[in-house]
Amino acid sequence: MKLNYLTVLAVVSILSWGSVASVTVGSSALRAQTTSIARMNSSAIAGTFVSAEHPTEGMARIVMENGKYYLELDENFKTDPGPDLFVILHQSAQLPNSGIEESDYISLGMLRSIEGAQRYEIPADVDLDRFKAAAIWCKEFNATFGYASLRENATSVNPCAGHNPCAGK
């Protein structure tokens, strides 16, 4: 009888310990995911537009609201008018002036206005880790009007870094 009691006690102890370990591991994973989302939400993932084919200025940033991600262009955003302008996320931090490949970007939609604050929803299935820049792109001529390299905690970005039109400034 004592042996049965000890066996049952041992089995219950093992099962209980396994459940606690699972809950601890599960809650650690959940805590890490929540921390990652909180970090993304509290730190700015942003960049300053640099001109490519056309003058483009202002800032772009990725924000999260109600579980959805958005690309926001600030109130200082401005670019030239064009025939077929789109807002895109691109895999490279620096875009060429022309000739981007379809496999390297996703479109967030047509540019709504050539100036001022605007917001574009990022589809839920987009892996944001793949994309390093936001850009204003003319589909008709495959021309980059301007782009903003997106970096975490980007509060002040040198718009002339690595860009020819700024040479000598």
Does 125 share its domain with 60?
yes
Instruction: Give the per-residue pLDDT at 36.
Output: 39
**Statement to judge: residues 75 and 145 lie in one domain:** yes
- Pair 149, 135: CB distance under 8 Å: no
Whether residue 163 is contained in a domain is answered as: no
Residue from 143, 125, 134, 30 nearest 84 by CA: 143
Give 142-164 as a 3 state SS string: CEEEEEEECEECCCCCCCCCCCH
With a cut of 70, which residues of the chain have pLDDT below it?
1-43, 153-169
Q: In this predicted structure, what is the pLDDT of residue 152?
A: 85
Q: Give the structural domain span for 6.
A: 1-42
Question: Tens of pLDDT along 144-169?
Answer: 999 999 998 655 443 333 333 333 33
CA-wise closest residue to 49 among 82, 72, 26: 72
